[in-house]
Amino acid sequence: MNKKKLLISVLVASLTVLTFSSAIAEEFSVAGRPLKLFGYATQEVSYGFSDAYDTEKGINSALMNLFVESAYDITKDLKFYGSGMLSVDWIYQLKCNDSSWVDKLFSKSKGNLNVDDKYWQLLKEARLTWTPGDFMFRVGKQIVSWGELLGFRIMDQINPLDQRRGFLDVEFETTIIPIWLFRADYYPKITSSWLQDLGFEFVYNPNADFIPNQDLMAGNAEGGIWAPNIPIPGAHLATAVSKISTPDRWKEGNEFAFRVKANMLGAITTLNFFYGRDNSPVTKLIPPFMSPIPPDILASDGALLLHPFQEGKYPFFKYVGATIAKELIPLRASFLGDVAPTIYLEALYAFDSTFTFTNPLFPFPVQRFGKSDDFRSGIEVTWKVKIPALNARTYFSFMGEFFYRRIMDYPSVEEIAGLKKNNYQTFLNVNTQYFHGKFTPSFTWIHDINSNSNFFIPKLVYDFDYHWHFTLGGQLFSGAKNGQGLQLFDNKDQIFFKVAYKWG
Amino acid sequence: MCFLVLFLALGVMAPSLWAAEQFKINSQELEKNKRLMDDPRPYLTTTLAYKKVLPPELYSKLTYDIEEMKKLWAECVGFRAPDEVGKIAPEIKPGTYSYKDKAKYPGLKELMIPMYYEFFKEGGPPLAGSYAEIKVVPTRQYYWSLPVAKATKEGMGRVQLDDNGIIKEETWVAGIPFPRPEGKFKANQVIYNWIKTPLWLDNYYATSVNKGFTRTLRVDQEMVADVMYLTLKGRTRLEPYGWYDERAKKNGELSQMNFFYQAPRDMYGNVISITGYMEPEKYDQMMVYINALRRVRLLSATDIQDAIGGADYAYVDNNGFGQKLSTTIFPYKNEIIAEREYLVPFSTWDGSEYMNAKGEVYNLEWERRPMYVVKMTQLDKNFVYSYRMAYVDKETGILVNVENFDQKGRLYRSTRGQRPFIPEMGMFGMGCGIANDHLDLHTSWTLGYLVPAPWLTRADVSLRGLVIKGK
């Protein structure tokens, strides 16, 4: 605890120095080579509107991020990039004596969500890139991002995600967790008239350290303010008692990924192959299935707190897939501002994926691991349109996505929690800019068709200058079917305000 | 100009040889020798003089006999600028004039481009880029390098426009296509001279720094960006000459470049790749490496009218006028509305120009230049501009000033550029530039420096280049 406090103090002091020292904000020369240093500090406060068990009326998060990154060109062909981040949610300090916060057990999630102090949370990326000739080799803690869609993550399965703090990321760029990887790219010289670029990319994960997805966690004592409200008559779902086996470092969980990239006929296409582990575990309930555990048997509202008992594993995940991106220039229309739509397609077919099958015919949850092929696909259309009546100078940017997932061998009697045989979701984002790009209003709508549930994010960003940025926004949930889809977050409507200072 | 503003903004090198075969100057080195603000150092004739910066063999390769260049270029265009000027307001002689002298020298109003005359004032909000004091120098003859001049001379009478005034690409090989504009499509020829101007080098690496100013002249943007540029057709100064390669010839590719941001933080690691094509009806191809996503993404090639990243220009304003003449894609009706001399800050050879905190620009060398004024009326009513006023230097074909008017006829954006002239190379450098947004009242001020980059290849400006230069 003292260690954490010391760490925070040091980093806050560093932030103060960096913020007011322009000399640090630019570029250095080290051993005659350029060293760049960038960073940002953000402080966000969110305010919830509901006073339910799974949420808190009033201020329910006060998240601070301190991010520092550096790039150093060791030689013309050898470069280093590193980044580090400290995330602290001050709400645990602010509400340590708040009876409601304590009674709802949010205070117990402090260990998970107060300070991100694991080495892999503090150290984001640390990688060396060597670029001899037509090759590129990159080794270290890094991000390899695949796919085309910006809303739904289909092909992008190599790095795990940090989603513990909900749908509004800590910072978009840092929700993806860098892991230890080796990457090799080869770009042969192309002389063809129809093929402009060709690249081969190989990625190897030796599982030097197994870092899985950081998903939303059940129970207020683990998941904090973002614990989903899973309906159980007369009870609340509390923290899980889990036994999740993880692949042994180095020995198990090695992953291989290969991609061919081409720029041909005006389109960017890729063919993808992945063999590795799913970043999220599959779990199944084991006896006693659900049970209260003293001393917190009852929730603050008098309902029983039931802890699920489960075991699980990170199953194999292997797929082939393809992406294509192409601008449909013939569809440009003068009256819409002459910008053509661009489509982005991606699809993967995963073999023998593992799911948790639940038999609904039994009075208590009987679950087993079952296998099925899994098809995931998505299409995104981006289109900038001029609407002079609303904005005379800047276009409106529309980005719509449709996501389709089919469980190929869906069991006939059993069910897969949260999934149907066919699953559909949509995503829409609209934004524009006013006053010379100073104000950027945007609206995002995610709709889960199967559960008829929605997530809305209205947001206004004010860029005072290249240092200071202010964001005011909201997160609103609705759902027609109790306990399904985004309805699980129905009580978590909130507004948020974020101040960001960036240097470099 | 700082048209560089535009060019580089789509979006930054003293002598530091990274490797004998791959020299370049980064923004840090540029700013060490010439800061963006309040710095009158003549860096182009001192610390960053090309003779000092370039490897001797390359410098030698790119320099030519000045008198020979002057003679040949005069043969191409049929005149020398000093002989063409001095007729308007002859009482305005070389010397220094203050904005306070405007009443005393009414001839200045007649001699200056109207918008320049408006900026001939004490600095202050809302727009930066005023001239509180101007230094008038005698008109000088400008010329292009020997290879460019030879290619121009060889093309005289051969380069043709079609019945719609669109260039027949197969007839243009290299050089300035129409050194003596004439005939029905004279205005189009003037514009083509700018479009085809071999302004910089066949391969170059450039670095630029940029500041943005709000209507109160508060700095709201600082940007650093580099560009690697490969000319694919009409190469005259660096091998290979003519077409860069067979692929360019087969695909009708004119140029390929990577533009990568070094700052601010949010932009660092973004790389934009652009391939330009000859066909008037074909859009450029644009890809971007998005830093936050660590991913290459196809950009809409038709998304060219929105301002770029908080700057005061759009893709269509790239380098002043970033479009091709076309009958289908934003077609223009071009007409020459004046052919006369103007007093403009055409070129400051030593790079001593600078801007102060009041937004005043000093040390520019103003000279009388023979110019064309082309009104470019946009025929697509949904285009961002209803018309452009382009001021093009007659002797060199260089676009000096462009004023862009919105669909309501209001002056929307303007770019003023002056490029340093490198006499022994017959070449213009990047220098500084001003872009103003007259409606949102915002200004961009840019300084750039380029070096020839014979080491640059397709690999640097391709998909590989995107990935390697990206974050």
Q: A161-182, pLDDT tens digit by residue?
A: 999 988 765 566 778 999 999 9
Amino acid A29: pLDDT:
78
B10 pLDDT band, cuts 50/70/90, is very low
Structure tokens at B158: 């051969």
- Residues B206, B430: contact at Cβ < 8 Å? yes
More confident residue, A280 or B318: A280
Please determine, for the modelled complex, whether the ipTM score is greater than 0.90. Answer: yes
User: Which range, A282-296, B127-141, B248-262, B285-299, has the best average confidence (pLDDT)?
Assistant: B127-141
CB of B27 less than 8 A from some CB of A: yes
Q: A298-315, pLDDT tens digit by residue?
A: 999 999 999 999 999 999
Residues 6+ apart with CB under 8 A from B105: B89, B91, B92, B97
B4 pLDDT band, cuts 50/70/90, is very low
Amino acid B7: pLDDT:
39
For the entire predicted model, the pTM comes to 0.92
Q: A384-422, pLDDT tens digit by residue?
A: 999 999 999 999 999 999 999 999 999 999 999 889 999
- With CA atoms as reference, the chain A residue closest to B247 would be A191
Report the distance separating Cα B292 and Cα B167, nearest Å: 41
Select from A142, A153, A197, A385 the residue whose CB has the most chain B CBs within 10 Å, as the one to mutate to test that interface.
A197
A472 DSSP β-pair partners: A460, A497
Residue B3 pLDDT more than 50?
no
Measured in degrees and rounded to the nearest 5, phi and psi for residue B349 equal -70, -30
Amino acid A202: pLDDT:
98
Q: How much is the mean pLDDT over chain A?
A: 91
Residue A462 pLDDT more than 80?
yes
The answer to whether the Cα torsion of A223, A226, A228, A232 is positive or negative is positive
- Residues A401, A377: contact at Cβ < 8 Å? no
Report the distance separating Cα B129 and Cα B124, nearest Å: 9
Poorest-pLDDT segment among A95-104, B10-19, B219-228: B10-19
What is the CATH number that goes with domain B4-469? 2.50.20.10
**Nearest CA distance, B116 vs chain A (angstrom):** 23
A26 contacts B246? CB cut-off 8 A: no
Q: How much is the mean pLDDT over chain B?
A: 92
A425 DSSP β-pair partners: A403, A448
Write out the residue range of the structural domain in which residue A24 sits: 2-503
Amino acid A194: pLDDT:
86
Poorest-pLDDT segment among A66-70, B128-132, B263-267: B263-267
Amino acid A169: pLDDT:
56
Amino acid A13: pLDDT:
47
B309 contacts A437? CB cut-off 8 A: yes
Amino acid A363: pLDDT:
76
CATH number of domain containing A316 = 2.40.160.10
Measured in degrees and rounded to the nearest 5, phi and psi for residue A102 equal -75, -45
A36 contacts B471? CB cut-off 8 A: no
Residue A327: C-alpha distances to residues A158, A196, A330, A487, B344 (Å) = 27, 16, 9, 36, 42
- C-alpha A420: how far from its chain's center? 23
Report the distance separating Cα A406 and Cα B287, nearest Å: 32
Amino acid A168: pLDDT:
63
B300 contacts A172? CB cut-off 8 A: no
A466 contacts B220? CB cut-off 8 A: yes
**Domain residue limits, chain B:** 4-469
CB of B340 less than 8 A from some CB of A: no
Q: What is the dihedral of CA A115, A119, A120, A124, to 10 degrees?
A: 90
Is the bond into A281 cis (omega within 30 degrees of 0)? no
Residues B352-365 have a mean pLDDT of 96
A40 contacts B292? CB cut-off 8 A: no
Select from A130, A338, A434, A470 the residue whose CB has the most chain B CBs within 10 Å, as the one to mutate to test that interface.
A338
Residues A451-462 have a mean pLDDT of 96
Amino acid A5: pLDDT:
53
Amino acid A193: pLDDT:
80
Cβ contacts of B222 on chain A, cutoff 8 Å? 466
Cβ contacts of A503 on chain B, cutoff 8 Å? 265
Residues A127-145 have a mean pLDDT of 96
Write out the H or E segment, with its range, that includes residue A112. helix A110-113
Cβ contacts of B264 on chain A, cutoff 8 Å? 466, 502, 504
A503 contacts B22? CB cut-off 8 A: no
Residues 6+ apart with CB under 8 A from B103: none
Amino acid B73: pLDDT:
98
Amino acid A361: pLDDT:
87
B464 contacts A384? CB cut-off 8 A: no
CB of B65 less than 8 A from some CB of A: no
Report the distance separating Cα B377 and Cα A451, nearest Å: 54
A:B CB pairs within 8 Å: 164
Return the SS3 of A121. Answer: helix
A15 pLDDT band, cuts 50/70/90, is very low
B371 DSSP β-pair partners: B340, B393
CB of B17 less than 8 A from some CB of A: no
Residue B102 pLDDT more than 50?
yes
A9 pLDDT band, cuts 50/70/90, is low
Amino acid A16: pLDDT:
44
Q: A190-216, pLDDT tens digit by residue?
A: 888 889 899 999 999 999 999 999 999
A329 contacts B303? CB cut-off 8 A: no
